[in-house]
Amino acid sequence: MKAQSKTYTLKAVGIKIGQLEAYHLKNNAFDFYATHSKVDFITIKADVKTEAVYQHGILIRAIVTSKINGEAYSSKTIWKKDHYDIDCHTRKYNYKDTTITRPIRWSAGKMYFEIPKPGVEIYTESYGKLSILEESKKNTLKMTTPESKQLYYYSGDYSKLEKIEVVNSIKNFDMIPDN
């Protein structure tokens, strides 16, 4: 069994607004990815937990539970032999789907530990949607979700994640690796 953890400081306009902890546990054919983030900034209070389980490199379950300004939300994605049952609920967003029939190999939580190539299809656990990673500029990959976009900034040789910029309607912020 192999375990890794990473932490990120969340900053808006240069001020710390929260923290994100990311975990990866590998056990034989299974990979477990989890994140837990907390934000406390003026009128925004958020607590978000994401778990994604892969078997032989294929996403078999993803669960997101969140509380934003006192409101609870949850999103679930479950592999059912030949399709995913998707039931996602976030702030002002509700989505159900059963039309994804091909295995998902990348989700957002995996990106804290592995570096994908431009053009890879990424699944957003909170929104139940697939997005293509675009190289928006040199050493930067962009992922678009229904309510935001994330820009992943990498070192010159794409060996290290240096920063994630999150642009959304609630509050734009940066995620800076602590380690």
> pLDDT value at position 147?
82
- From first to last of its 179 residues, the chain has per-residue pLDDT tens of 899 999 999 999 899 999 999 999 999 999 999 999 999 998 889 999 999 999 999 999 999 999 999 999 999 999 999 999 999 998 788 999 999 999 999 999 999 999 998 999 999 999 999 999 999 888 999 999 888 899 999 998 888 999 999 998 778 999 999 97
Q: Is the pTM of this model over 0.85?
A: yes
The sign of the CA dihedral 127, 54, 154, 136 is negative
> pLDDT value at position 84?
97
> pLDDT value at position 34?
98
For residues 159 and 153, what is the distance between their CA atoms, to the nearest angstrom? 11
